Every structure is written in C-alpha cells, then in structure tokens.
Structure 1
C-alpha cells in the first residue's frame, strides 16, 4: 500500500479556498434565482395595478412601501454586512424590479454627475433615468407638465441653510413632497468639514403613512408682533415636534407677510396633525400643505 503524502499548509489552504469558492458559486446561483423570482412577482404586481382602474394611470412607485421594506431589511439584518450596506443592496434590487414595472424618469437641476444626481441615485437607484435640467424651476415644470415622473431638488445645506428659491417654486407650482434624501457631501478643497445636504423628492401623488413620517407646510401670516409665538403654540399644544423652521418676509397686497416653511414629525392623517392643520387652515392665515412623506431611511 502506497504511503499517503501529507498535504503542505499551502495545499490545505488551496483545498479550503476551492471548497469556499464552490460554496459561494452555489449561493450566487440561489441568489440569482431568488432575485429573478422577485422580479417576476414585480411584473405580476404591475399587471394587477394596471387592471384595477384602467381609466386612471397606475401608480407603480410607492414611497411609503419602499421605506417600510428598507426599514425591515435593516431591522432583521444580522451581519456581518452593516445595516446601511444591506439596505443599499436592496435599494438596487428594488430599483431594477421597479424598472420592469415602469421605468422612472427623474428631473434634477444639473450638472450631470453633481451632488443632486447623486441624491437621485441614492433614493431611486441606478435603474431610474436621471434627466438634468438647467435650474430647479425646469425640474418643477418637467414634473408638472408630465415630462418626468419625479424631481429631486436641494432644500437645505449646512453651509447655506434653506434654499429660498425652492420655497418660491412651492408657492407657484402644485407639486407634492414624496420623500427626502440626506447626502453627506465630501470636504471641499479648503479642507472644511463634510456637510449634510437635504434634498426633496417631488411628484404629484399623495403618499400614504409609512409609520415614520414628516409633513412640510408653507404658512403665510400677516406680519405683526407675537405671530411666531402664536404659531408655535399650536404645535406645543399637540406635542408635535418641529424639525425645521424658516421664515422670511414677503411683500404682497396690502402689507407685509411672514412666510413660514415648517417640517415636523408625523403624517397628515395622524389625529394630532389633522387638528393642527385644521386650526391653521381655519385661521386668517394662508396654509399650503406641501406633503407628508417617509423620513429618509438611507
């Protein structure tokens, strides 16, 4: 009987690597099969939606549904991949599946490859078609006129604060906020710290509650002493937390008005928010609800 030659450490390592690579290949095959099953299911969802009411266009992108899915992905994640990395993988799977239902076109103020396009990719994934526009107003128009399904535009940054031009556009166009994107910008050449910039996703649809939502409003109030105190009192009375408050003076008609832009926690279907909006709408002020939408997940 021939004597068995013992394996060297390198030979044992190579054999172990081959076994692990075979295991990875098998897992990849299972993943590919499951992703295609998910895609086929998405196609069936599209067919059902199209058959529900053929007189109205079907709504394929549901911000509240996607936010709920991504939150569950992060909640059940056990590692070793970090929660956010796992959610980003699912974001791309959802993006390609949604493209099978309806390829989305998303307008954004250019340039191509800039930060706003990065915000588009972060929120909608790589399968959405980004359409660069010359300025934010052109992005608003593209959605209002039906040339694009959605738009993404900056609303605030740590360096520059609120983008006031966007507020003016909200007063002139009837679009809803469907979501938000938070983007950490890289440090600039002068070595300043990186800064968060917040973007809004704009569309025409009403967004159902997701469980973790924000609401944004514009409130125009006749300029007089104590006006801000009165407005904030309505929020304190109902224990509603403001996450953003900006004000500016607007000259119109018979005098000056204070225009307040507010973000606060909750959805406009929540009982406390219903009461708040009813009080603001029934007063002498002018209220415009910009939308309720899921808080940024990624």
Structure 2
C-alpha cells in the first residue's frame, strides 16, 4: 500500500469520526434541553468518569487509559460548551499550572478568567460572576495550600470535582549564561519543589524572590537578563522566554491536586467517591478522639486530616479539614454527618480523580 493510499484511509476514518461527533452533539443537545427544563446540572464529573472507565475496558490496548481520558475530556468540554457556555475562573495569570488544570477539565472553548489570588477565585464563584473556579489544594511533595483551606472554611462553596495533575518545572531566562543569573522568581511552593536543582546549580547566596504565581515569575524575569523564573513550560512559551532546563522538579512523581469549585453543587453517587468536610470541634478533652472513633465505628476510611488554626479567636483553637471515602447520600455517611451537624461543614462529595 502506498503512502497516499494509507493517508486516504486515515482521511476516511477522520471523516467518519467527525460525522459521529456531530451525531453525539445532537444527542448532547437533547440531554441539555432536558436538564435545562428540569433545572439540573450540566457538569456531571461522576458521569464523565464512568464513561472514561467504561471505554478504557473496551480498548484493545492501542490507546492507554490516560490517552482515552485526554481525548474524551476534550470531547466532554466541547459537549458542555454546546449545551451551555461555561465561565471559569482560575488562579492566574495565563500560563499557570492552574490554568493548565482548568483547560484539562473544561477544554479550550470555555470562557476563562485569570485572577491574581486564590481568594479572588472564591469571591468570583461566590458572587456568581463565574460558574466554576479552579484552585490548587495540595502538592504531594510540598504539602497543602493553606490559603485554599482557609477559604474553604470561610466561603459557602462546594467542591464539584478534583483534578490531579503531574507538575513539571523549567528554568526560563533571557540570560545566555547561567553564571549571570542573580535572581530567581517563582511561587514559594515551587522553590521547595525544585530545591535539589537550585542547590546543585546555584551558589548559596542566589536571591530567591517569591511572587504570586509561576506565570508572574516569567513576567518578572522576562526583561532582566540577570534573572530567571521557575515556571511551567507553557508559561515560558507564552511569554517567549527561552527555557534553559526542563523537568527540574525534585521528584518525577511530583503532582498537584486541584479543586473545582461551584455554588450550590451536588454530585450524584458514583460508587467511588470522596467526601470533604471541615470540622470545628468543642475545645474539650477527647473531642477529636471521639469524633475520629465514630469514623472507625461506621467503617469509614479517612484519606486526609489536617489542622488549621481558627482565625478571629484568642488563644489557639483549631479546625480540621478531613477527606474520607464515601458519599454524603450513603446511609452510614449520612448518619455520621447528622450526628455532628453542629460541628461539621460539608464541602462536597465527588468522584475520586484516580
């Protein structure tokens, strides 16, 4: 078979794919019309997860589960845009890791709003200037993002979904020689994630300058030949700053977990759910131990528990952000939340990312 004949076969398959996708959009519109008439939600993370898992079991192995997920997340995003355009806020500026996470969930067609602070994202969702917000919550190498945790406690928003994304840093600079770099800009958490590289490549007196985001770091370093930025490769490419080194993070397993926020949002049961709560327990001996024992008695597995000081109070009182397996509509979870309803704020029940 000649190259032209092979290309003709590929073209024919592409034409068939396009026709099938357009048929899918017709059915998507019917679903959207039903949801609008019933005032139900168009974004259904648990449904999307179920579709991807089903298709992965049908694959003959030529497409990995990750490849199937990447393809169909974009199809889902286009489908939702076809039903109802979405406005999404994220921690910016353009080219940040959070921007990348937002596009991976909502596709390239959504209307994106880059905001300078995590609090600004919460405020935009809370006031309904946007439908969804995307913020980082924790990194598996550097720990939690405390501003997100504090805002989860303060704002009356829900977690619609989570997204776990591999994080790869680069060093970008207009300096032609690494020896000429005197300052490095980045978000504080990025310095911790790239500590080994910085120690090996730069003298101890190198100036590390924390900024609001890794994208902002690129903008700071762009016009200064004696500076560099630790950033996402996409940010360096957007702002046309040369990349000197890639994949400089300490661990190749470096991942960040992002939350997708919404107002008045509830997922249906998926069978593989996580529930997040914030607990503000009485300041009495054994209150935390008794609270945690109720999870043991209910057979509920905890996946995360972290304390944060309660603001606006004298002395030291604490709240706890807790993630556990299960959905709030399951009877054993419902009973536990009911028992502690005066001390617990439900943040969301959502399908596990992986």
TM-score by length of 2: 0.73
Aligned to 1:275: 335
Aligned to 2:23: 37
Is the CA contact (8 Å cut-off) linking 2:137 and 2:259 kept in structure 1?
yes
Alpha-carbon offset, residue 113 of structure 1: 0.6
Alignment of 1:218 with 2:204, yes or no, is no
Q: Which runs of 5+ in 1 are unaligned?
A: 1-14
Matched residues in 2 for 1:253 and 1:19: separation? 74
Aligned to 1:12: none
Matched residues in 2 for 1:102 and 1:258: separation? 41
257, 269, 293: which is aligned to 2:350?
Answer: 293
Over the residues paired in the alignment, what is the CA RMSD in angstroms? 1.9
Matched residues in 1 for 2:308 and 2:125: separation? 27
Matched residues in 1 for 2:288 and 2:67: separation? 42
Is the CA contact (8 Å cut-off) linking 2:77 and 2:105 kept in structure 1?
no
CA 1:275/1:48 → structure 2, altered by over 3 Å: closer, same or farther?
Answer: closer
Secondary structure of 1:179's counterpart equals strand
Q: Which runs of 5+ in 2 are unaligned?
A: 172-196, 198-247
Alpha-carbon offset, residue 229 of structure 1: 2.1
Aligned to 1:243: 303
Alignment of 1:79 with 2:61, yes or no, is yes
Matched residues in 1 for 2:57 and 2:126: separation? 36
Aligned to 1:200: 259
Aligned to 1:59: 41
1:13-24 equivalences in 2 (<5 Å): 15-24=1-10
Instruction: Tell me the alpha carbon deviations over residues 212-260 of structure 1, each in whole angstroms, 9 at most, x when there is no partner.
Output: 1100000011334433322221111112111111013326557643211
Compare relative contact order (CA 8 Å, sep 6+) and give the higher one, 1 or 2. Answer: 2
Is the CA contact (8 Å cut-off) linking 2:89 and 2:121 kept in structure 1?
yes
Matched residues in 1 for 2:258 and 2:276: separation? 13
Matched residues in 1 for 2:75 and 2:110: separation? 12
Matched residues in 2 for 1:229 and 1:295: separation? 27
Aligned to 1:11: none
CA 1:48/1:249 → structure 2, altered by over 3 Å: closer, same or farther?
Answer: closer
Alpha-carbon offset, residue 76 of structure 1: 2.0
Matched residues in 2 for 1:173 and 1:235: separation? 26
